[in-house]
Amino acid sequence: MTKVGIVGATAYTSLELIKTLLRHPDAEITYLGTRQETGIRISDVFTVLTKTFDMPCSQLSKNDVPKDVDLVFITLPPTISMQYVPQFLDAGIKVVDLSADYRFKEISVYEKWYKVKHSDPSHLKTAVYGLPELFREKIKGATLVANPGCYPTSALLGLAPLIQKNLIYNDDIIIDAKSGISGSGREPKESTHYCERNENLEAYNVGVHRHTPEIESIISLIGNSDTFVYFTPHLIPMNRGILCSMYVKTKKKITNEEIRDLFNDFYAREPFVRVCSDDKLPKIKDVVNTNTCEISAKVLGERTIIFSSIDNLMKGASGQAVQNMNIMCGHRETMGLL
Ligand SMILES: NC(=O)c1ccc[n+]([C@@H]2O[C@H](COP(=O)([O-])OP(=O)(O)OC[C@H]3O[C@@H](n4cnc5c(N)ncnc54)[C@H](OP(=O)(O)O)[C@@H]3O)[C@@H](O)[C@H]2O)c1
């Protein structure tokens, strides 16, 4: 049995962690930490949990590590997370961090895009990027896993087979991505206000979205080449889900069947990647509330379009985090996950 803590218990991603962990046969939630007032129960925050899971939350502290915990999920915002991670690692507790604080091997890239000095460079060196389909062996031995961002998960799972086979130009990748609004977290902002989002579709953070360097750094790593992605995220009036349409140029002619065969080979043993059959295209409806990523591709003249859909809160966050916990703790990888 793995004893699990959640640090930042009131986050959207925490609710998904709780729901997933409650059906996990080999995990038990023993700690919920929040900066909210003491005495608050998690079901006061997420009323859907009333009578199912009424556990009291503890006051979050930077110097007080809970006892009786083997692994913690950190669901704090980037730049805050790294203020809490070291105390858990130093106490011998494994960490899956859902923020971006440990995703970049090059500290200068993190500091440029997140506009703060990294406060924990020593643990950053040991962190493993938690995309199991690419880095499973490293995750097995990790004590600190940097859970990938939601857009990067969707984009990288679609692109990785072609990049690893050196089939596309890595410096000319167009990613048109659309996300449900829960991707922006629980804290209300004007940009997530109902009146701004309902009946609306708009691009945002073009050229400055912080998932751009994350996608580029992993493509450079697995493709061993310079990379440039033209990444345009959009917010769509849906609660959850991501669809990426990615336009790439192949180095030689390739057919739809060849790409489908490549995807099928690459993901043959992967429980959470589903390659669409025939002419079917991924849709958010088929992956929402699951840890599955659906992918397919279409060759159109000199460009090939790759499609990839996930649930941002599951494969893009909490589902993948539990998948990483399972790998780190020696549980069956699919435990607790749909
Ligand atoms: N949402 C997604 O789809 C998604 C996908 C992938 C990764 N992520 C990442 O996962 C993490 C959680 O995301 P989320 O969307 O679930 O966040 P969220 O709903 O906005 O919740 C953020 C949590 O952090 C706490 N918090 C904020 N500032 C804090 C501070 N200064 N000190 C202590 N606690 C603080 C909040 O507590 P209070 O209740 O006290 O405000 C809340 O529990 C983030 O790093 C995010 O980038 C999110």
Homologous superfamily (CATH) of 151-312 is Dihydrodipicolinate Reductase; domain 2 (3.30.360.10)
Look-up: residue for tokens 């805050």? Answer: 80
| Closest ligand 1 atom, residue 45 Cα | 39
| Closest ligand 1 atom, residue 35 Cα | 40
H-type helices in 207-268, by residue range?
211-223, 256-266
The b-or-e profile of 270-280 (16+ CB within 10 A means b, else e) is: bebbbbbeeee
User: What are the residue boundaries of the structural domains of the chain, listed by start?
Assistant: 2-148+316-329, 151-312
- Supply the residues annotated as catalytic: 150
Which residue type occupies 266?
A: F
CA distance 122 to 124: 5
Residue with the nearest Cα to atom 44 of ligand 1?
A: 77
Residue 312 beta carbon below 6 angstroms from any ligand 1 atom? yes
User: Does 38 score more than 80 pLDDT?
Assistant: no
Residue 319 beta carbon below 6 angstroms from any ligand 1 atom? no
* DSSP secondary structure, 156-211, as one string: HHHHHHHHHTT-B-TT-EEEEEEE-GGGG-SS--GGG-HHHHTT--EE-STTT-TH
Token representation of residue 12: 């959207």
Residue 192 beta carbon below 6 angstroms from any ligand 1 atom? no
Which residues have a Cβ under 8 Å from the Cβ of 139 and sit 6 or more positions away? 128, 130, 132, 145, 324, 327, 328
- What band does 247 get if pLDDT is binned at 50, 70 and 90? very high
99 CA → ligand 1 middle, Å: 8
Query: In this predicted structure, what is the pLDDT of residue 36?
Result: 86
Residue 185 beta carbon below 6 angstroms from any ligand 1 atom? yes
Pairing of strands 128-129, 58-59: unpaired
pLDDT in tens, 178-228: 999 999 999 989 989 999 999 999 999 999 999 999 999 999 999 999 999
Which residues have a Cβ under 8 Å from the Cβ of 79 and sit 6 or more positions away? 99, 101, 114, 116
CA distance 314 to 322: 9
Residue with the nearest Cα to atom 14 of ligand 1?
A: 185
pLDDT in tens, 48-62: 999 999 999 999 988
Average pLDDT, the chain: 96
199 CA → ligand 1 middle, Å: 26
pLDDT in tens, 166-176: 999 999 999 99
Give 163's Cβ-side CA count (13 Å radius): 27
- What band does 313 get if pLDDT is binned at 50, 70 and 90? very high
Residue 131 beta carbon below 6 angstroms from any ligand 1 atom? no
Which residues have a Cβ under 8 Å from the Cβ of 158 and sit 6 or more positions away? 244, 246, 295, 297, 306, 307, 308
281 CA → ligand 1 middle, Å: 32
Query: In this predicted structure, what is the pLDDT of residue 61?
Result: 87
Token representation of residue 31: 């700690």
Query: In this predicted structure, what is the pLDDT of residue 136?
Result: 98
> CATH says 2-148+316-329 is which class?
alpha beta
Residue 187 beta carbon below 6 angstroms from any ligand 1 atom? yes
- What band does 37 get if pLDDT is binned at 50, 70 and 90? confident
Strand 273-275's sheet: what is its strand order? 202-203, 229-235, 173-179, 242-249, 303-310, 293-300, 273-275
Look-up: residue for tokens 């790439």? Answer: 248
Mean pLDDT of 68-80: 98
Query: In this predicted structure, what is the pLDDT of residue 230?
Result: 98
